[in-house]
Amino acid sequence: MDLTFSQEQDELRKVVRSFLAKHSDEAAVRRLAAEPLGHDPVLWRRMAGELGLQGLAIPEEYGGHGFGYVDLGIVFEEAGRALLCGPYFATVALAAEALLRCDDEQARRDLLPGIASGETVATLALTEDSGRWDEQGIRLTGRTTADGPRLTGTKTYVPDGHLADLVLVAARTPGGISLFAVDGDAAGLVRTALPTLDQTRKQARLDFTDTPARLIGSQDTAWPALERTLATASVLLAAEQVGGAAAALDAAVDYAKIRVQYGRPIGSFQGIKHKCADMLVEIEAARSAAYAGLWALDADDDTETPVAAALAQAFCSEAFTKVAGDNIQVHGGIGFTWEHPAHLYFKRAKSSEVLLGTPSYHRELLATRLGI
């Protein structure tokens, strides 16, 4: 196992960072955050066409580039740093993963190439009104009819569910949990965008009424694959959180170098210097937590991955929130304004904290997986 980044990986980071610095700068983030859609189809196509980011870790046989999770983690870290707006997490970390983890070769061949090429925006609809991320939280029902499967019920807090072309839906079927694919414009599907505290990542409510669907994998057996999907997404979200936290620290440090009070830069006062140092300590610990998850994913380690994933979410969520909050503090009054970007990171941190389940939930997942 290689625990350092290769030169190629350093290069990938550089390329993605400079691309996002250009196309997901503060102006672009603010513009997309203010729109209900929150998605720039031109940027999306360039991400796929020029850099192949949507298909980076999708195997070549499904139209992707066959890179590993460490590589994908680098992209998520950079996406977090740039507060990338749009359905990248929903499409790549959730939907593509769910397809890869489910035992359905035909569905992979049918659906993954569109994701890899940037043609398809996709998401995974799992949570309902209870906001639960576990098997018990799934109430929406799937039933078999003469015309194929039909779904009835409600999903909510679905990341980018308002615009996804393809929605993978976790549903309760007579013997367990099954996964279905639904077209974004299917009959009997009503999509409502939800106004979000964090405007940089949109959510939607999806009401299904006898909606036609396609069964992915075999019926009643989807939960283990969904659990693996969530573990992978947890690690990728952790990488995104690390990137966001690093950007918040950079902003704090830049400001502490130039803001003068009592005749000297505030960064020369231990009160500020030590706060910034503590932010970095937290970020490097979070980085370790996220990287351990990426290594476990690339090693295909079924024992280590669920542990590392729960640990990464439990830790990185809180680290990002803490660092993003400290960034506002270092900036003082200016950091509390709408005009300053500090709040964008803080709100992203707060929403990411619950995106795949709260830190407490992940602590319990970890404890259960460890037998504590």
Helix (H) / strand (E) element for 371: namely none
Reduced to 3 states (helix: H, G, I; strand: E, B; else coil), residue 193 is strand
Does 30 contact another protein by CB under 8 A? no
Does 3 contact another protein by CB under 8 A? yes
CB of 155 to another protein, least distance (A): 30
Distance from C-alpha of 313 to C-alpha of 233, rounded to nearest angstrom: 10
Reduced to 3 states (helix: H, G, I; strand: E, B; else coil), residue 172 is strand
Q: Assess contact for 271 and 240: CB atoms under 8 A.
A: no
What's the token pair of residue 21? 């610095």
CB of 67 to another protein, least distance (A): 19
Query: Which region among 48-56, 86-94, 184-192, 250-258 touches another protein (by CB under 8 A)?
Result: 250-258
Closer to another protein by Cβ: residue 197 or 281: 281
Per-residue mark of binding to another protein, 261-290 (x: CB under 8 A): ---xx-xxxx-xxx-xxx-xx--xx-xxx-
Closer to another protein by Cβ: residue 195 or 264: 264
* 214-216 and 264-265 beta bridge pairing: unpaired
Does 238 contact another protein by CB under 8 A? no
10 Å Cβ neighbour count for 252? 26
Does 209 contact another protein by CB under 8 A? no
Q: Would you put residue 309 in left (φ > 0), alpha (ψ -120 to 50) or beta?
A: alpha
Q: Binding to another protein (CB under 8 A): which residues in 322-361? A: 360
Does 315 contact another protein by CB under 8 A? yes
Helices 223-258 and 69-81, axial angle in degrees (round to 10)? 40
Alpha-helical (H) ranges within 155-222 are: none
Helices 342-355 and 223-258, axial angle in degrees (round to 10)? 160
Closer to another protein by Cβ: residue 146 or 372: 372
Q: How many residues bind another protein (CB under 8 A)?
A: 40
In the block, tokens 């079924």 appear at 302
Distances (CA, A) of 333 to 198, 243, 257: 21, 24, 17
CB of 1 to another protein, least distance (A): 7
Does 370 contact another protein by CB under 8 A? yes
Closer to another protein by Cβ: residue 166 or 330: 330
Does 255 contact another protein by CB under 8 A? no
Distance from C-alpha of 342 to C-alpha of 322, rounded to nearest angstrom: 12
CB of 276 to another protein, least distance (A): 6
Does 256 contact another protein by CB under 8 A? yes
Residues in contact with another protein by CB under 8 A are 1-4, 249, 253, 256-257, 264-265, 267-270, 272-274, 276-278, 280-281, 284-285, 287-289, 291-292, 295, 304, 311, 314-315, 360, 363, 366-367, 370, 372
